[in-house]
Amino acid sequence: MHYQNVCIESFSYTLPDEIVTSAEIEARLEPLYSRLRLPEGRLELMTGIRERRFWPRGMLPSEKSIETAEKAIVASGIDKGEFGALVHASVCRDHLEPATACRVHHGLGLRRDCCIYDVSNACLGILNGMLQVANMIELGQIRAGIVVGTESGRPLVETTIEQLNRDQTLSREQMKLAVASLTIGSGSAAVVLADRELSRTGNRLLTGMVRTNTDHHALCHSGRDEAVGDGMHPLMQTDSERLMREGVALASEAYDHFLIETGWLPEQVDKTFCHQVGIAHRKLLFERLGLDTKIDFATVEYLGNTGSVALPMTAAIGIERGHLRPDDHVALLGIGSGINVVMLAVEWQKSLVKTTHPKHLQQSSPAAI
């Protein structure tokens, strides 16, 4: 997929206030750790994740999606009357029906002929939504669109802790299937895309490409389809080691084609933002793709794996911290269970807000880029 008329105008993000460390999670797993004689610090050592964040109990995803989308629209400077599409693209949603996009649309006050719907594709939902909005812009169907999502990790993490402590038959090997669930965090992200003639940034989306290998669709799966309300008690099983190997293998195949489609030489990839899983995954991915981690910006150590919002939220924070410069060739590298890969190529020019350099995110306020 090649684009001549699509620009990325703004990213925005919102973070929960509550910080939960890996040490706190291990303290709650004391019954399991004592029974299996597991050493403290194991979770952070295995994943590189020292903390993640949680929303207040009972909060619906649409609440933060409205807030985050509003900030992205304001940052873009584009009148709401220009928005012809709204995609809500997180794994978490308010209800099975109607689409969470309906409440977000109502909260934003967008026009009545705006195309609205939900998209779900594990950790790639927002990237898939960006491609769909970009296609509508390129075809001349709309002038601007927004993709937004909010992930809530608390239900999964707390249900996993409860299950691990309750099941007295679990072995160390079986416990590994739950480790990925304990890395999940919460957050919200939004992206505004616009027609080139409407753009104030000139941040062109050049290329988008996808690859899939559904031979490995069973390596990571949750229970039955449920909404994210108070009654949700999700569980997830993940063969993390094999998923990492197979995901990186597919990403390597995809990246070769990505370079062909963009016409970029390997050394012309100036900056990257990737899906945030863990430090071992990041190291293996960059070794396999032949990239230097110095060109990447990561948040996984302090935000954990935040699902579909991980990559766009990391991009927003990275831009806020000055990771990108004018004329940078930027690769957005997404890998999700299934296994699916989405890669986007962006020619960056400028941000619409002043660059900041916060020392940490402990007290940072939500931002838009």
Helix (H/G/I), strand (E/B), else coil: 81: helix
Q: 109 φ, ψ to 5°?
A: 70, 35
Q: 69 φ, ψ to 5°?
A: -65, -40
Reported residue count of the chain is 369
> What distance in Å separates the CA atoms of residue 110 and residue 106, rounded to the nearest whole number?
7
Buried b (16+ CB within 10 A) or exposed e, 157-187: bbbbbeebbeeeebeeeebeebbbbbbbbbb
How many other β-carbons are positioned within 10 Å of the β-carbon of residue 346? 23
Cβ neighbors of 365 (< 8 A, separation 6 or more) are none
**Contact status, residue 50 vs residue 361, Cβ threshold 8 Å:** no
Characterize the bridge pairing of strands 83-88 and 115-118: parallel
Query: Which residues are catalytically annotated?
Result: 97, 123
